[in-house]
Amino acid sequence: MKRILAVLFVLVAVTGMFAQDFVFSNASEPTLDPSLQTDTASTNVYLGLFEGLVQYDPKTSRAIPAVAESWTISKDGTVITFKLRKNATWSDGHPVTAQDFVYAMRRILDPKTGAEYAYFPAMVIKGADAFNSGKGKAEDVGYKAIDANTLEVSLTGPAPYAVDMMAHSSFGPVPQWAVEKFGNDWTKPSNIVTNGPYLLKDWKVQEYLLMEKNPKYWDAKNVKIKSIKVLPGDNDTTNYNMFKNGEVDWTHGIAVSKIDEIKLRKDFQASPQVATYYISLNIAKKPFDDVRVRKALAMAIDKKAIVDKITKAGQIPTDAMVPPLAGYTPQKGAGFNPEQAKKLLAEAGFPGGKGFPAFTYIYNTNEGHKAIGEFIQQSWKNVLGIDCTLQNMEFKTLLDLRDKQRDFTVSRNGWVGDYIDPNTMLELFISDSGNNAGNYKNADFDKLIEKARTAKVSDRYKIFQQAETMLLTRDQALIPIYHYVNLDMIDASKWGGWYPNPIGFHPWKFMYKK
């Protein structure tokens, strides 16, 4: 036992000498295989180990060159030709070629891979959806290697956001030879082959993951941070305590219960997200099928008060589904107006709330959702004289009830956009969407979303504005409450190259110590 302890002490001392450059609390255990990743924790590691054709601009989250040094888009907007740089290599010395991207694309779409995020490229890449659902062939997927350094990507339509999407890990390259040699074990530290600015040095599941600067990376001279230690801590309070104690340099997500203390700190960062917190009303149920009722419910809620008194972290109160984007003006539903709310409810046949059937507001168990639910319950009672019961349930139980069985009346809901475009916030309300919990069915709305898919770039935003007008201004199919913000703890006076941005991903290669 003594000997073991002695060895341990030596080990501790030795590892202590190589101090980490940057320590980061990642909220959960990542998946390393780019084709199998599903969450932010995995993307954070992907941004160190791998590099796609393009990557996120650290300030705007839009695409900037990475393995591809440039690209051209055909006149009709449906074909993108990428020029790959010649000096990009894998960690085992193989050059990074267009074929690696073709292989990765076919692999994530292959039904046998069973990749959850296959749907992401399938939204924009020609032939991808057909191959993934077993109706098409791999060869027909719109990814073609013209030569080792030229990749031609065909889209389902002129999607101007497609290049931005391609910074996502589901479009990342995968080394075919390593996957074929090691199978499912190819991402184990001893087998993994990567092409990003960092190499996987060590990975102890549930303990830590260590990345070190990749000297063979094509842009290695601009990579400043030597090593990044990624911790899997998922307890917000512990993460915050570690941050305060100087044990971690960055935590994503904050201890909501400490928001009053946290928001006074200089190292607290809040940045608007393409994401909306909203209430789903089940339109298939009476009396929620009456638009006057839905508008009355929306007008009774003071969203600014929710943000100021409950969430308190800089969330943006809203009456729209799409957050403000450059060039896009969100189209609003009904705002806070108690007098008008009472009038509308009376017109709908429930003066003073009389005769309004009792219903239940469901939410997934969480202090924040509970406080918001109580506020809304009180607003409806005070303004409209309507009674509703609050019911909390475990997250997956709520999903089952709300999204699968659609057996609910009113529910808390939330949606985080996948890319910066109105489409990602609106298409979930088309009639047959699996995420259209409120059962909004409107053929005209569906047509508009479909039309935008093939519309000219200059017309798209106008079409989306028409769609949002229909969804909210006319039909009030849901009640938007606020736009989410990314919440991070990082000391910007110590670390440069980290910016609050809309997608919330922060490529490591741009970061440096001030």
Q: In the complex with other proteins, which residue's Cβ is closer, 135 or 221?
A: 135
* Among the residue ranges 31-39, 79-87, 281-289, 475-483, the one whose residues contact other proteins (CB under 8 A): 31-39
* Among the residue ranges 238-246, 263-271, 375-383, 503-511, the one whose residues contact other proteins (CB under 8 A): 238-246
Query: Per rule CB under 8 A, is residue 344 in the interface with other proteins?
Result: no
* Among the residue ranges 29-37, 140-148, 450-458, 503-511, the one whose residues contact other proteins (CB under 8 A): 29-37
Backbone angles phi, psi at 370, to 5 degrees: -65, -45
User: Segment 33-52, which members bind other proteins (CB under 8 A)?
Assistant: 33, 36, 38
* Among the residue ranges 132-140, 159-167, 344-352, 491-499, the one whose residues contact other proteins (CB under 8 A): 132-140
SS3 category, 405: coil
Q: In the complex with other proteins, which residue's Cβ is closer, 238 or 271?
A: 238
Write the CB contacts of 156 (distance below 8 Å, at least 6 apart in sequence).
78, 123, 124, 125, 126, 129, 453
Q: Using CA atoms, how far apart are residues 415 and 428, in angstroms rounded to an integer?
A: 9
Among 72, 184, 458, 493, interactor with other proteins by CB under 8 A: 184
Instruction: Fill in the amino acid letter for 512.
Output: Y
Query: Per rule CB under 8 A, is residue 183 in the interface with other proteins?
Result: no
Strand partners, 213: 198
Q: In the complex with other proteins, which residue's Cβ is closer, 244 or 285?
A: 244
User: Segment 198-227, which members bind other proteins (CB under 8 A)?
Assistant: 204-208
Q: How far is the CB of 106 from other proteins (least distance, A)?
A: 14
Write the CB contacts of 275 (distance below 8 Å, at least 6 apart in sequence).
323, 414, 415, 416, 417, 483, 484
Query: Per rule CB under 8 A, is residue 191 in the interface with other proteins?
Result: no
Write the CB contacts of 475 (distance below 8 Å, at least 6 apart in sequence).
291, 294, 440, 442
CB-based contact 352:346 (threshold 8 Å): yes
Query: Per rule CB under 8 A, is residue 59 in the interface with other proteins?
Result: no
CB-based contact 359:388 (threshold 8 Å): yes
Query: Per rule CB under 8 A, is residue 138 in the interface with other proteins?
Result: no
Among 232, 287, 314, 351, interactor with other proteins by CB under 8 A: 232
Query: Per rule CB under 8 A, is residue 152 in the interface with other proteins?
Result: no
Among 7, 15, 86, 494, interactor with other proteins by CB under 8 A: 15
Q: In the complex with other proteins, which residue's Cβ is closer, 300 or 372?
A: 372
Query: Per rule CB under 8 A, is residue 150 in the interface with other proteins?
Result: no
Rg of the chain over Cα atoms, rounded to whole angstroms, equals 25
Q: Using CA atoms, how far apart are residues 435 and 349, in angstroms rounded to an integer?
A: 31
Q: In the complex with other proteins, which residue's Cβ is closer, 82 or 440?
A: 440
SS3 category, 319: coil
Q: In the complex with other proteins, which residue's Cβ is closer, 291 or 416?
A: 416
Among 105, 242, 449, 478, interactor with other proteins by CB under 8 A: 242
Query: Per rule CB under 8 A, is residue 235 in the interface with other proteins?
Result: yes
- Report the 10 Å Cβ neighbour count for 219: 14
Q: How far apart are the first and last CA of the chain?
A: 44
Query: Per rule CB under 8 A, is residue 400 in the interface with other proteins?
Result: yes
Query: Per rule CB under 8 A, is residue 427 in the interface with other proteins?
Result: no
3-state secondary structure string, 324-349? CECCECCCCCCCCCHHHHHHHHHHCC
Q: How far is the CB of 405 from other proteins (least distance, A)?
A: 9
Q: Using CA atoms, how far apart are residues 55 and 195, in angstroms rounded to an integer?
A: 13
* Among the residue ranges 51-59, 67-75, 169-177, 389-397, the one whose residues contact other proteins (CB under 8 A): 389-397
Write the CB contacts of 69 (distance below 8 Å, at least 6 apart in sequence).
83, 84, 85
Q: Using CA atoms, how far apart are residues 158 and 176, in angstroms rounded to an integer?
A: 30
* Among the residue ranges 93-101, 138-146, 165-173, 231-239, the one whose residues contact other proteins (CB under 8 A): 231-239
- Strand blocks (E) in 316-426: 316-317, 359-364, 388-393, 410-416
Query: Per rule CB under 8 A, is residue 396 in the interface with other proteins?
Result: yes
Q: In the complex with other proteins, which residue's Cβ is closer, 208 or 499?
A: 208
- Cis, bond preceding 287 (omega within 30 deg of 0): yes
**What single string gives the DSSP state of each residue in 99-112?**
HHHHHHHHHHH-GG
**What single string gives the DSSP state of each residue in 110-150?**
-GGG--GGGHHHHTTBTTHHHHHTTSS-GGGSSEEEEETTE
Per-residue x/- track, 90-129, other proteins (CB under 8 A):
---------------------xxxxxx-xx--x------x
Q: How far is the CB of 220 from other proteins (least distance, A)?
A: 27
Q: How far is the CB of 349 from other proteins (least distance, A)?
A: 34
Q: In the complex with other proteins, which residue's Cβ is closer, 325 or 401?
A: 401
Among 245, 266, 339, 355, interactor with other proteins by CB under 8 A: 245
Q: Using CA atoms, how far apart are residues 29 and 41, in angstroms rounded to an integer?
A: 7
| Interface residue list for other proteins (CB under 8 A) | 8, 12, 15-16, 19, 28-29, 31-33, 36, 38, 111-116, 118-119, 122, 129, 132-134, 184-185, 187-188, 204-208, 231-235, 237-238, 241-242, 244-245, 247, 394-397, 399-401, 403-404, 414-416, 434-435
